[in-house]
Amino acid sequence: MGQGSEVLGGQTRMSLPQSLAQKLIARAAGLESVAVGDIVTCQVDLAMFHDSSGPRRLKPLLEELGAKIWDKSKVVLVMDHYVPERDEAARKIVKIARDWAREQNLPHVYDSQGICHVVVPQRGHIQPGMFCVGGDSHSPTGGAFGAYMFGIGSTEMLGVVVTGKIWLRVPQTIAMNWSGHLSAGVCAKDMMLALIARFGMNGANYQAVEFNGSAVKALSMQERMTLCNMSAELGAQTGLIAADSTTRQWLKSSGSSSDFSSDPDSFNTEHHFDANELSPQLAAPHSPAHGVPIAEHTATRIDVAYIGACTGAKLDDLRFAAQVLHGKKIASGVQLLVAPASLQDLAGAKTEGILQSLLDAGATLLPSACGACAGYGSSFADSQTVISTTARNFKGRMGPASTQVYLASSYTVAASALRGYITDPREVMA
């Protein structure tokens, strides 16, 4: 149990240093400070859900309870999992979401605009200091903005939607300090694959992870989102990065008193890594934690190179792929599929000429939606070997159990598409 803020003899003892996670939770719980291990109830500032986790489950349950949404202005609905609708079952699920959004007169609905974890911050719904929940496991993505955000299931979302509150056990904070700077051809995805290989898929044991150090400070906002997004694969409840000038610039805000950061000595565990030493990473089938050296897999031929998902198809990821592929052609027999994470990212890629570079190289453009990553229908064929920018390569997730999915950055996926076998991107980048 924690130390810190308990009342002794009627006097509040001076609090111990508070981590960013503790400060965010304390604010949402209406407390001065919180101690690790405390169970507290927090007021939710934002509840985000999508067509799969949201209306199809919430609508009947709300009706059964005879309850109403606690505050519609704090709810965001994104249609991304079953769009575009492939069949009757998908049409039914998406129709429920659309009808319910109209019926409830929801003010914040993004239909077929891209993947929730990317669309919601792009539309300005996540600000530093907020306490947010999402009906999806990659919800920690919002932590990149100095907000506390984590994923929950549909029933728990029902509880939030009815009461506006949720309980939480105050987590420890595990600091991941990255000194130095990333080399060319290495990016945030590689940092996460390295961490997951080292600590395992439940290595963070549902505690909070905070990313720090010069290599993190130097990252763009979207790259920071990749770090926090894949905190899910580390088994963290959330992944956090304190808001700074990069955050404020991206949000076009001038900062506020809610731009919290961790006090010195507030971390329960600290790990140190040198970004200069990091090389492109690869996770072999069937686990994101199954890290293997690329050099040992250069004989692995691929059928499909997939650049998609909230994890790996944001504008920055598309830029990395275009850096590798500009003016070149992918290997014959290889399919390069590109599903930009949002329409905004797609528009950016068009403006910058990146999309054209990718199409000229032989890419096929897919809709901006969860697509093959969720495995909810549009997935890969039997026995295909796929290299993918997505977050999970569980057996049977993105295709039949025989589908072999490797995970890597968009640099590595693009380089592999170019050669037709798994390739270290530094070999093909001039």
Partner 1 sequence: MTDKQSWHKIWHVGDDVDTDALAPGAYMQYGVDVIAQHCLGNILPDFARNVKPGDIIVAGRNFGIGSSREQAVAALRHLGVAAVIAPSYGGLFFRNAFNLGLLLVTCPDTTLLQNQELLGHVSIGLEVDFYPEKHIKTAPIPDFLLDLIRAGGLINQLKQTLDTHTLN
- Minimum CB distance to partner 1, residue 213 (Å): 25
- Minimum CB distance to partner 1, residue 136 (Å): 5
- Minimum CB distance to partner 1, residue 359 (Å): 29
- Nearest residue (CB) to partner 1, 135 versus 185: 135
- Nearest residue (CB) to partner 1, 202 versus 214: 202
- Nearest residue (CB) to partner 1, 129 versus 203: 203
Spatial neighbors of 1 by CB under 8 A, at least 6 apart, are 35, 36, 37, 38
Which residue type does 315 have? L
- Nearest residue (CB) to partner 1, 240 versus 349: 240
Report strand pairing: 208-212 vs 238-240. parallel
- Minimum CB distance to partner 1, residue 208 (Å): 11
- Minimum CB distance to partner 1, residue 190 (Å): 21
- Nearest residue (CB) to partner 1, 68 versus 272: 68
- Nearest residue (CB) to partner 1, 162 versus 347: 162
- Minimum CB distance to partner 1, residue 379 (Å): 7
- Nearest residue (CB) to partner 1, 42 versus 93: 93
- Nearest residue (CB) to partner 1, 85 versus 263: 85
- Minimum CB distance to partner 1, residue 401 (Å): 5
- Nearest residue (CB) to partner 1, 64 versus 265: 64
Nearest Cα residue to 356 out of 379, 370, 338, 335: 338
- Minimum CB distance to partner 1, residue 268 (Å): 16
Q: Which single residue is written with the structure tokens 């067509």?
A: 51
Report strand pairing: 39-43 vs 165-169. antiparallel
- Minimum CB distance to partner 1, residue 343 (Å): 24
From residue 182, alpha-carbon distances to 31, 123, 173, 388 in Å are 39, 29, 24, 21
Q: Which single residue is written with the structure tokens 């897919």?
A: 366
Catalog residues that contact partner 1 under the rule CB under 8 A.
39, 52-53, 61, 64-67, 82, 89-90, 93, 134-137, 139, 151-156, 158-159, 162-163, 167, 200-202, 205-206, 235-237, 287, 374-377, 379, 392, 394-397, 401
